[in-house]
Amino acid sequence: MQRCSAIITEDPVQAAPTHPGPLTGLRFAVKDVMDVAGTTMGMGHPLWASTHSVADTHADCINQCLVQGAELIGKTQTDELTYSLAGNNHHYGVAPNPAVPDATPGGSSSGSASAVAQGLVDFAIGTDTGGSIRIPASYCGLYGLRPSHGAVSRVGVGSLAPQFDTVGWLAQRADILMAVGEALLPNTETPIPSQVALLNDGMELLDSIMAHKARGAIRSLGLPVSRSISIGSLESYRRVFQVVQAYEAWQTHGEWITANKPVFGPGVAERFDAASKITAEEAQAAQANLNGLRQRVRDLIGDDTIWCMPTVPASALPISAPAEEVDFIRGQTLCLTAVAGVAGLPQLSLPWLRDVRGPVGFSLIGPPGSDRHLLRLARNLAFASHLRKAPGPVPAV
């Protein structure tokens, strides 16, 4: 598979800040699923732009950053129609992962993560439906936030599965991640979480070394640790998530796919084909199960607890990994990412853990609307770590 640049060179964009503000002096890029005035979004497929019109205005999230003083310098690569977590686009290639050079950066916000990890921008905006901010953040050793569902405007942003689609962002520094949150998140008051708990079900997907590191990381948060939490088999969350996501993905893109017959790469092609066969009755049954799981999670997390677990089971897969291994890891990863997706909760991935190959994110999942609290906690922990001149809460192996 060929390499590609993280920032799309064939469709350069630039937009100056419209006002000075807290983001003054910061440069950012946006995933190519967002309207940039005067251009056409690409959605990771060469046929998309030729069948869609030029945008008259920027997406809301872009305008909000420009108003706060940031400068837009480019669009970033994405997986095809965002229906992948691999960061391996059949048409354009694989963006670099500086943290693990022979590996993918993760998808579908692959270019956004790659651009930040390479230092090309201070932060990048992407989207997260099934893990597309959290997984690249973990693979590239970055901070990344999937916000509470509906917290950030999606006006002018392409969709995959509206029930799960969110606008998120990535940065190398926790203070920058928080500054972007101040620009994009609503200023709502929610209780400040007072305790943390390990999500025990997620630990079962880890080897013993990573599980030990995760248990150590939770103690670094500086909050009282309550008992471990169990929400039941994560496989049940993954199954209902994938069915409902697939059904919505076909409702969103099926008409365009049928009319234009685009060529998709391996994995994406099979997922859309399977999505086209899901009946309304099957989707309704899965939705009913999903609603029950969502309520269960929200009842358990309450309004004062942060749940913790690794973002993904392991570090980034090599580009050359066989398809069977990619599919297996995708399934395990979705078991972890589906929790916040099903429940609509904010999830912040911190670059705290490592395995023998590279970085592995450590996640904080908060109650609905607790996004700012999570960002503030990460910022304070990073500042305290800097004062101690320590590399981070958990050492590398």
Say which of 112, 132, 138, 349 is annotated catalytic.
Answer: 132
Q: Which ranges constitute the DSSP H helices of the chain?
A: 46-50, 60-67, 110-117, 134-140, 174-184, 200-203, 208-219, 234-260, 268-275, 280-301, 323-343, 371-388
DSSP 301: H
Say which of 31, 112, 363, 370 is annotated catalytic.
Answer: 31
Q: Is 52 exposed, middle or buried, given 0-12, 13-18 or 19+ CB atoms closer than 10 A?
A: middle
Residue whose pair of structure tokens reads 């936030």 in the numeric block: 145
- Buried residues in 194-233 as b, exposed as e (16+ CB within 10 A): eebbbbebbbebbeeebbebbeebbebbebeeeeebebee
Check if 315 is active-site.
Answer: no
Residue 235 amino acid letter: E
DSSP 99: T
Check if 108 is active-site.
Answer: yes
Check if 385 is active-site.
Answer: no
CA distance 254 to 161: 12
Say which of 108, 109, 148, 349 is annotated catalytic.
Answer: 108
Dihedral sign computed on CA atoms, order 211, 216, 219, 225: positive
CA distance 63 to 167: 14
CB 82 within 8 A of CB 44: yes
CB 62 within 8 A of CB 72: yes
CA distance 248 to 161: 5
Query: Which residues lie below 8 Å from residue 373, measured CB to CB, with a gap of 6+?
Result: 190, 192, 193, 366
21 closest CA partner among 74, 65, 63: 65
Catalytic residue set: 31, 108, 132
